[in-house]
Each structure stands twice: as structure tokens, then as C-alpha cells.
Structure 1
Amino acid sequence: MVNTESQQRTLPQVVAATARSLPERVAISDGPVSLTYAELDAARLQAARAFLAVGLGHGERIAIWAPNMWQWIVAAMGAQSIGGVLVPLNTRLKGAEAGFILRRSGARWLFTVGEFLGMRYPAMLSGEDLPDLQGTVLFEGDAGDDTAWTDFLARGDSVPLAEVEARENQLRPDDTLDILFTSGTTGQPKGVVTSHGQNIRAFATWSATVGLTSEDNYLIINPFFHSFGYKAGWLAAAITGARILPVKQFDLDAVLGQIHRDRVSVIPGPPTIYQSLLSHPRRADYDLSSLRLAVTGAAPVPVSLIERMRSELGFKVVVTAYGLTESCGVISICRPEDSAERISHSSGRAMEGVEMQCVDADGVPVPAGTEGEIWCRGYNVMQCYLDNPEETARTITADGWLKTGDVGVMDEDGYVRITDRIKDMFIVGGFNCYPAEIENSLHSMPGVARAAVIGVPDERMGEVACAWIVPAPGAALDEAAVIAWARENMANYKVPRFVRFVEELPMNAGGKVLKNELRQRMAAERG
């Protein structure tokens, strides 16, 4: 059963309640750092005092640009406890991409690390104009001219706890919890605004559906900047009292060792993670008997993989789910009792309290078994796109239906199978890629007159970008040069893996690029 009391709570109320009921339960284990729920609650309050000390106002934003780590959670919870709004940044973004989101959100403080996987985040922002940013705090690494995390926390020592409590008491479930930026077909990232109450209800419901409990040790591989790692990750764990095990960087041997050592029971992620576990040559050297629950999605899941996850990896529950950033990250989900065939061939049915339908081009529901655009309605639908009423009105109907832009087929039992995308989005290794955004970047490259981007199949990544470019007159471009420029100017998963040069792009009478024709050309070329 879903705890209906939690559905109308704020984040600080939920974390405090878990700390009261499970004070000695380990909340986070991150390398040498271990925090019980009582200690996590105390750390949250100390961070909240620090935010008050630097003057963070109700509704003001903080950004976090860092890999999965315990400080990420404490900073987010501290700001959210006093009405601050979380803006996560993808760790793969380049400086210009991160700068756009920082400006668009008006973030007052940025929390980051000095370096991760060769990316030096503070240095990447050196040329960006960030008029609203008051300061940068480093979770780890040499802070230099910025503020060290421990020094930031120390600023809260002079703030009475009563001030935090007063701000917490002012919070309401419909206050904004976070703004997650999602790319769009217009080429500019849009900020998705969602509230405390709707996220807590969504992931109390999600947790009850999949069976996440305080007995679970939850290995969170999905990045915290994504709703899967954040909301279906540490937020769901905080609601249920599960133990959070953040994974900073995926390494198969390290993951196997951690399953063995920490008695990991829950692993989420795309199918490739489970395929990698199954194919590891030394899998038998590790005790994987603690594995219990797998939540997957973002790519088709073969029936044979589900059966092997159950028989060889020992998962008792395997479920798939579907959602958007605009739906707090979840719309539909399979149920633990569903068959391997149903889990493989669908993305589940609407979760409790949410409606889902497939409609035709006029918004009229289509019969079961007929393809249509997937719409959803319920408490999980975003409040709006940040400062973008026009796009909000295009996406949410007057009677509250969210147009997902995905095409699917729903069966008689309400289970939906995603069949296509109305938009041109494609998925690279679990990350959504929007051609318009990549095209906009390529148009700023010297020598590029026009660019069109499509997704093409890739055995390892699912899909990768292929750029079709019309060079400017006299420009001397080649594939290597375009790819090298793209690596310098956009996140790695967006970088085209293939570049084709043409004198002109195929277009219809209205001037729209015929991307189906480009896909056909690429398919013919690759055989």
C-alpha cells in the first residue's frame, strides 16, 4: 500500500520522518563515509543553516554539477529544506551548455568538483557570463578562489536551528522542489518545474509498486542529475529508508565487488548493465545472492535477458518502466507479478493515480491495439516549463493531459508498448539526444552552412548521431575535423559518430528536411 500521508508532504518532512523511525539505519555508504538516517538528517539541517547564512531565498535556485556522491544529496536536501530549488547539471555538459542552464535558471550557487573524468568544471565556466551566480562551492578538490564544502557548511554555525525550522514550516507541498532541464525540438533546453508534493507522491507510489523497502541496499548507478538516479534513486530511498550506495563511475569489476561486499539488493539501469553482469568471465567468483530487484528501461529488454536475470543473477523482481522528465520521471510501470513476455514487450501500465491514453492527431482516443500518441494526466504532470508559457500550453492540454510526443500501442489491460517518437529524439547509451540541439551547435562551426542530424543504430550505444552537412562555399571540412570540433563544444553523447557531406539537404515544399530520406540513405550505405 502507498503511504497516502506522505503524498502531501515536503522533502524535509519526509527525511525527518525517516530519521525518526529509522535513526540507526545506514542511509548512505560512499567509500569511507557512512551516515545513518539520523546523521543524514543532521547533515541536511547543517547545510540548510549554511544556505540561510549565505542568504538563499525561498524559490531561489542552486545548481549541482558533480558525479554521484554523498555531498550531492546533502547539498540538495539542505537547499530544498528551506525552499531552495535544485537544478542538476549533466556531468557530460561542456562549459557553454552548463552556462546556458545556469543563466536560464538564475542559479545563485553552484556546487561542483574540481575535476571528474578529465573535465575541469570551474575552469570550463571561466568565459561564461553568469550575473546571478553568487559563488561556487567545491565538494572535493582544491577550491582555489572558490569555497570548499567544509568552509561552506561552517558558515551555518552562526545560524540558529530555529530559523531552519521556521523556513521548513513555511514550505507547502506545491512549492517547487526542482527544475530539471531537458533538451527539446526547438534546440534550446527547457526547464521542467515540479513540486515537493507531486515528486514525493510519485516515488512513494513507485517504491510501493516495485517493493523498495528499508531492508534494501540500493546501488544507484544512474546519475543523480537524471530523474532515474535522483528521484527513483536517492529520493525513493529517503522515502522508504533504503540504504543508498552511490556509484560515481561505472566499473563492472567494482560493481561486482560491491554487490558481494555490501549485500546489494537493488540495481536499476538500462539492459546493458545486466548483460554486462551476465557476461563477466569471473561472475562466479562473487556472491550475488543478495540481488532481489531490478528496474530497467530506456531500451528493449529481450525475454531471454529477463529469464537469465531471474535464473542466473537471482533477481526475484524485474520490472520495466516509462516516463519523462515532464512527468516527474515516471508514468507507467510493470508489476512484479507480470510475465517475462509482458515485461519485455511493454513499458507497463499507468501507475496508481495516473491516467494514460493513446490518441490520434486530433487528440481523440484510439481503440486498444491501435497506434497513437501517448498522453498522460495526473498529479505527476509538471507544473510548467520555466518562463515558457507558450511551450507549456503546447505540451499540456486545457484539461491537463501531457502530450509525451511518443507513439505507442496500448492493449486491453492498459499496458503500453512504445513504438516510435513523434519528435526526432534518439537515445544514445540511455541519454536523450535531440537533433535540433546538435544542429544548432553545428551551425556555429566555421565552414558549416547547413546541418541535419539523425540517429542511426549502434550495437553498443543503441543509437548514435549522424550529421549531414552542407559546407559553406570554399570551406574545407572533413569528417575528422567536424567530430573533433563537436567533442570540444558539446557533451560526448551528442557528438556525431558519422558525418556525411552533401551539396544540399533533401527538403519538402515547406522547407523541412526530409529526415526519413537521410535515414534511408544511411541504411543503404551501411547495408
Structure 2
Amino acid sequence: MSVNKMLKRNLQLIPRILGANGLSSFVLIRRLSASITKTVEAHKFYPAYLHYVGKDPLVYRNVGQQLEKTVAEYGSTEAIVSCHEQKRYTFRSLIEEVDRVAAGLLKLGLKQGDHVGIWAPNNMHWYLTMLGAARAGLVSVAINSALQARELDYCLKKAKVKAVVMSETFKSQNFYEIMKSICPELPDSVDGRINSVNLPHLKHVIIDTPNRLKGALSFDDLLGLGNSDEREAIAQLQRYVMPDSGCNIQFTSGTTGKPKAALLSHYNFVNNGTHIGNRNQLDSNSRICVQVPLFHVYGVVITVMAAMTHGSTLVLPAAGFSPADSLKAIVDEKCTVIHGTPTMYVDLIKKQRELKLPLKTAKMAVTGGAPCSPQLFLDIKEVLGLDHVRTVYGLTETTAVIFQSRPGDNNERILNTVGHLQDHVEVKVVDAEGHIVQFGQPGELYVRGYATMLEYYDDPEKTKETMGNDKWLKTGDQFILEADGYGRIVGRLKEMIIRGGENIFPKEVEDFLNSHSKIIEAHVIGVPDERLGEECCAFVRLQDGVESITHEELKEFARGKIAHFKVPRFVIPIDQFPRTASGKIQKFKLAETYKQMQKEKA
């Protein structure tokens, strides 16, 4: 019955009420009033839209100006400690080194707005280059250190990278040899200037190494290129670097199977870092154990920018994630805060149960990058002996964080939500037709505000698909928003797999698997994994006469071709794929098949 009909029926009772007298009239009037109120309340629509203003205003400054402000306020405070490299910088000594990098990059002939790739693990030169590029008005391009030749080639071309700063080696990865395989002209380059047929935009390769490698400059060479006047001019340059201009490119995943290059601004970086740090109550006494990779938006914004805007210290335990090194760094460097993905905390907890180190100074853990189970939250707090566990939720396209735990949140909030809406951000939840739903109902989460990316670089079509003219950004996540500002993820509308914080898009893996001589057709899904959150599972149709293919075979086949984390952990042969009438693969049925197989094993 419509609300109008119900009200009409109630109004028809008025003559009866007026005909009554005394106490009965009073009673009937009260009952009628209550009935009307109940009817109206039952049919009210509370749209799932919020704009949380917060108490601290947004600021209009670039990353370089923010660094200057931090130096003025916290100059003698340690900015960063690299345990594995035995290097330390205060904020005051840091800006001197950063400006040497900035002057060196400009001396190479790079112009404001040019792109500088950083392809390295968590070494000091990553941090210095990112800030140096920002001070020079350049755009840093964050490249996953695990990428192989084909993937690196794509990233350098997509972002039109003009210079690359990289490590020489890391674990089994030889960066120089990989670079030579896609840029064969590198060893014959003169004076560090490259002319590549395959990579026409690339002009310079800078490597952090004491060795002389043909065609490349060393990082020390870069530091020595600019003279004192050129280094001092970097401070004057800051007024010409607009906060709204691009600062950093992050590669993210998409349904097409190819990474998209999300362009983020100085304004995004400075303000998201500020409000993240506010929520986490960072100050100049905070010392953050950095387990996450700096090339990820978690590392560069939630960690680097939040620390910089609050005068906090970053501690790099190792070039790559190492639970034992993290625990040792927490003890030796008296870390108060730990940053990591859920997978990292699983390993950290396991190692702490073994070593039982005295983590006396650690007070808070921040987790993000993938969903975290309630049990893991409890284990983090108990085993690591922490007072607080905070969660963050966001996307690369939103410069990291749009929901985050607040100080004083109780266990129910922390265990069952992704936190409260971030300051100065608008969100709404819509149904499949784009109509807004009510609070408490599931739908796709849209975001608008200062934190949304500028664009997918050089990809107006994909930008328009994700962010309309009204500037609402579609997250692709199925979400429930409550009226009090807290939210919950229900699921993902897109097929992307999040394996231990690493994004895997199935089509890329499927295309790779289909190139194997044993495989006719492959389709990849994400399946639950206790440690990693999700694991990569491939259903494959094999060539006639081939009975099986193993994970180890694929691992060997993938060597030097795709990153190790993209290799499917589970490989399941199948005779026929479930398809729709139009021929599309029904991946939900593959997930059901996997679930049934697990039940039968149990």
C-alpha cells in the first residue's frame, strides 16, 4: 500500500474522532498521530550519501613546499633510517640530498612535467628520487621491482618514461640485464644518453651501484651533476610547481587485463598524507616500521607522505619484506608504529611466536592493501603486544585512503568495518542502474573529492569509464555505507584478485598461460587463502594426450616473463568450461567447482 493511501485511510478516521468525546477522543487522536508518524517513518528514504568535512582544512601546496615546511618545523628529527644500507637522514640533511637529485635530473635535460621511472625495492635512492622528482616539477613513475622484461617494457612505454632510476640487482633480479634486453642500445650509449628504437622516449638510465655499467650513470653521478647555484635554485622553483599538477603515476589494474597509469597530483599527495596522519595520531615522536613496498600507493602516501606531513620517522628494515628484519628493526630503532598488509602481519606474527622479541615500544599497527579477517586483527594485537590496530581502505585512484579507523574506535568498529569516511571526501552507494540506495543497503561505492586521481595517463576512454564529468569515481567495489559514516566491503564487482596486497588481473595471466604448449585455453579466478587473502587458481583445458601440468612447470615457464606472484598456485585441468548462451565463461561456476573439490579433499 502506498504512503498516500495509508494516510488517506487514517484521515477517514477523523469524523469518528470528532464524534467522540472526553477521554476517548484524546486516546483516538494519540493513536491516529502515532499511526501517521509510523507510516511516514516507514516510507522515508535515507539516501546513502555522505560528505564528511572534518575539522582541519585542506591545504594548497606541493610536495616540495610541504618538505620545506616539515624541515622548518622538525629539521633535527630523523626523517628516514635505512637499516640494511646503514644510512640516516634528518629532515634538514634530507632536503639537501633531495635537491641534489632534483638538480641532477634537470641537468640531464629533463623538463617540468617529464616522467622519471623508479624501479627498485625499498632502498634509500627510491625515497630520494621520488622527492627529488617532485622538487624538480617532474612526475615519478612507481614500477614494481618484481616486474620482468615484458612488463617493464609496457610500463615504460605506457608512461612515456624519459629517465629510469633503478637498482643493479635485488634477490635473483638483475635489473641491468633486464633493461638491456628491452633496450639493447644501452651498453653503446655515449655520455649516458640513450637513443632506443624500442623505447623512443627513454633517454637516461641511472643505477644505484658502485660499479661502472656501460651506458648508465650511477646514482652518485646523478648527485654530482648540479652545481651549488643549481641546487639552490630548486627552492625558487617551488613557486612554479602547481599543487594541481601531476606528481606520481601508479600502475593499477583493470578489466582489460592491462595496467592503467593513474596520475596523482601534489595536492592529492599532501592532503591525503595529512589526513591519514591525523587519524593515526602521528607526530614527531612516531617511528614507523615500513614493511610495505614504497612503489605501492600504501608505501608512498599512507607511509611516506603521512610521515612527512607530521615530522615522523620512517624505518626501512630491509630492501624487501623480511619478518625477522622487521622485528629486529622495531626493537633496535624503537618503532612505535607498524605498517603492513594482512599477509605481512600473518608472517610477522608467525616469526614473533618463534623469536619472542621484546617489542616494548610498538603501540599501533596499520593494515591495508587487502581485506583483513577479524581473527587476524585480534592476533596482531595479542601476539605483537599492541594497544591499537587501525585499518584503512581505498584505491590507487583515490590516492590511497577514503575510509579509515578513528581514534577511540571500539573492537566492533575495527573488526567489522573498514573505518570511517575520510575528511573532506564525498561518497555515495548506487545500484546497477546508477540510482542511489539507502543507508545499510549494498551497491557500488562512488567517491568524489580532493583525493581522486587526475586521470588515467594518456587514456581518456578509460578515464571516462571510471570517472564521469560529474567527477564521481566508480570504485568497482560492492559496499554498505551506514549513516554514522562507517562502511563495509561486501565484495568486488570486478574480477581483480588481491593476493597478499598485490593486484592480479586474470586476463594478463590467462594470456600468458595460453602461450604454453600444453595449454589450449585457460581461465583464472581468485580463491580464498588463509595467509594471502586470495590465491590465483587457473582452470586449464590441455592439449590432446596431455594429462597434467603442475605449478612447478608453470613457475619455470614464467621465469623472466611475468612476476612470480602472478603464477597460479593451483592448476586444475578441465574438459569443458561452463559458458553462457553467448559463449562467455561463467567464472562463478569455476569457483563453485573449486569449493566442491576442497570439500571432497577434506
Q: Tell me if both proteins adopt one fold, taking TM over 0.5 as the criterion.
A: yes
Normalising by structure 2, we get a TM-score of: 0.83
CA distance in 2, matches of 1:342, 1:303: 11
Q: Aligned to 2:227, what secondary structure does the other structure show?
A: helix
Residue 412 (str. 1) matches residue 483 (str. 2): yes
Q: Deviations over 1:376-414 (max 9, x none)?
A: 111111111111111111111231111111112222312
Residues 272/482 of structure 1: CA separation in 2 closer, same or farther (3 Å cut): closer
1:171-250 pair list within 5 angstroms: 171-247=241-317, 248-250=319-321
Are residues 1:139 and 2:208 paired? yes
Other-structure match for 2:401: 330
SS at match of 2:200: coil
Deviation at 1:447, TM superposition (A): 4.8
SS for the counterpart of 2:488 is strand
The answer on whether the counterparts of 1:27 and 1:36 sit within 8 Å (CA) in structure 2 is: yes
Residue 75 to residue 255, structure 1, CA distance change in 2 (3 Å): same
**How many correspondences in the alignment?**
526
Contact residue 185 and residue 437 of structure 1 kept, 8 A: no
Q: Percent of aligned pairs with the same residue?
A: 32
1:468 to 531, 536, 539: 539
Amino acid at match of 1:135: H
How far is the alpha carbon of 1:422 from its aligned partner? 0.7
Distance 2:342 2:553 in 1: 33
Task: Find out whether 1:495 has 2:567 as its counterpart.
Answer: yes
Report deviation, 1:430: 1.5
Aligned to 1:321: 392
Higher RCO, Cα 8 Å, sep 6+? 2
In the alignment, does 2:66 pair up with 1:66? no
Higher deviation after alignment, 257-266 or 441-450: 441-450
CA contact (8 A) 2:518 2:549 kept: no
1:508–1:302 Cα change, 3 Å: closer
**In structure 2, distance between residues paired with 1:467 and 1:270:** 24
* Contact 1:114–1:141 (Cα < 8 Å) also in 2: no
Does 1:36 find its partner at 2:90?
Answer: yes
The residue that corresponds to 2:506 in the other structure is 435
* Structure of higher CA gyration radius: 2
Among candidates 63, 66, 76, match of residue 24 of structure 1: 76
* TM-score (norm: length of structure 1): 0.94
Distance 1:277 1:460, change over 3 A: closer
Say yes or no: does 1:525 pair with 2:597. yes
* Inter-CA distance 190–276: structure 2 relative to 1 (3 Å threshold): closer
Aligned residues: CA RMSD: 2.2
1:257-287 Cα offsets, whole Å, 9 max, x none, are 2111111011011234444444446678533
Secondary structure of 1:424's counterpart equals coil
Confirm or deny: 8 A CA contact 2:391 2:404 kept in the other structure. yes
Which residue in 2 is equivalent to 1:512?
584
1:120 to 151, 174, 179: 174
Unaligned 5+ runs, structure 1? none
Structure 1 stretch displaced more, 267-276 or 432-441 = 267-276
Give the corresponding residue for 1:378: 449
Code of the residue aligned with 1:28 in structure 2: it is I
1:189 counterpart letter in structure 2: P
Alpha-carbon distance in structure 2 between the residues aligned to 1:23 and 1:30: 18
- Partner in structure 1 of residue 34 of structure 2: none
Q: Distance in 2 between matches of 1:229 and 1:433?
A: 18
> How much does 1:48 deviate?
0.9
User: Which 5+ residue runs of structure 2 have no aligned equivalent?
Assistant: 1-53, 183-197
Amino acid at match of 2:133: A
- Does the C-alpha gap of structure 1 residues 315 and 497 become closer, same or farther in structure 2, counting only changes over 3 Å? same
445 and 279 in structure 1: CA distance in 2 versus 1, 3 angstrom threshold: closer
1:155 is the counterpart of 2:219: no
Alpha-carbon distance, 1:78 to partner: 1.0
The answer as to whether partners of 2:291 and 2:344 remain within 8 angstroms in 1 is no
Match of 2:60 in 1: 8
Pairwise mapping of residues 253-268 of structure 1 onto structure 2 (< 5 A)?
Answer: 253-268=324-339
Q: Shift of residue 66 of structure 1?
A: 0.7
Q: Please, which moves more after superposition, 119-128 or 36-45?
A: 119-128
Tell me, yes or no, if the aligned pair for 2:393 and 2:418 is still in contact at 8 Å.
yes
